Structure 1
């Protein structure tokens, strides 16, 4: 059952999907329509899931569900992953991109994960850079700490080495 994103409680569970490109207006409209229907119909063993989505930077989709009403089951989580596989097939967009997303004002700069140590060493990402981290504890964590400063993320290990 679709719920407005801002109405979901702080304890809601969150999944973050990052696309490998910025959505154009046509893609954005299609994704919003697709996900609104998918979330509306989302259920766990027949029980509707109070859930929603949010699109950030025209490139990142955040899915949230209030599990206090009904917990998302393995099958329902698989179904939500299936939405993004289907969208990827229909639109030619990779929603399982593992690049590091640097936030620059209202857009993202993606850096390949395998070369991130060199990106940090070159100063393209600094400890206070904002990073669109791929995982958060819950909706409260998302609202309070997303995007996160690089030094408060898994990238902090590269700044310790860089400053020694």
Structure 2
């Protein structure tokens, strides 16, 4: 993954999933805001080594190399404030932690628990459907566990999968 190639495997990682796909213009503008932010991001007046990218036209991923400078609560607050600003400016919702995103044919679909169960019951989704795991905390987790079968996703304990014959 070239976009985070300068980040070590233990880089702290945050993933924000928008409630919808971004338009090309929105993605370009938001990426510019993210780039400006990470280039000037500090924690306790110390510069942070960070990268941010938009993936699948819907996810903002931010990574920080804490070996360079450790991030603090105030540093994290600055990034959350940026996402809130982007949220409001583009009428997005990056903070619905109950939403589940799946990937089919390179297309992201967002579900809530009810619509996810309905899609499973209808046979549209299975336990093997690829889902995004927003709970990863480090680059190594991101590379190995961000995309995972739905049956391994955090929501899997709250839904019922159809038994395949």
Superposition deviation, residue 17 in structure 1: 0.3
Larger mean CA deviation between 144-153 and 11-20 belongs to 144-153
Larger mean CA deviation between 109-118 and 32-41 belongs to 109-118
Unpaired stretches in structure 1, ≥5 consecutive residues = none
Superposition deviation, residue 6 in structure 1: 1.6
Superposition deviation, residue 56 in structure 1: 1.2
Structure 1 CA distance, aligned partners of 2:28 and 2:137?
29
Matched, 1:152 2:152: yes
- Any conservation in 1 of the 2:12–2:138 contact (CA below 8 Å)? yes
Query: 1:44-123 counterparts in 2 under 5 A?
Result: 44-98=43-97, 99-123=99-123
Larger mean CA deviation between 114-123 and 128-137 belongs to 114-123
Superposition deviation, residue 39 in structure 1: 0.7
- Any conservation in 1 of the 2:127–2:161 contact (CA below 8 Å)? no
Match of 1:17 in 2: 16
Unpaired stretches in structure 2, ≥5 consecutive residues = none
- Any conservation in 2 of the 1:17–1:95 contact (CA below 8 Å)? yes
Question: CA offsets per residue over residues 56-112 of structure 1, 9 Å max, x none?
Answer: 110011111011221211111111000111111211111113311011222211111
Superposition deviation, residue 162 in structure 1: 4.7
- Any conservation in 2 of the 1:133–1:153 contact (CA below 8 Å)? yes
Distance 1:83 1:108, change over 3 A: same
Detail structure 1 runs of 4+ shifted over 6 Å in the superposition: none
Query: 1:127-142 counterparts in 2 under 5 A?
Result: 127-142=127-142
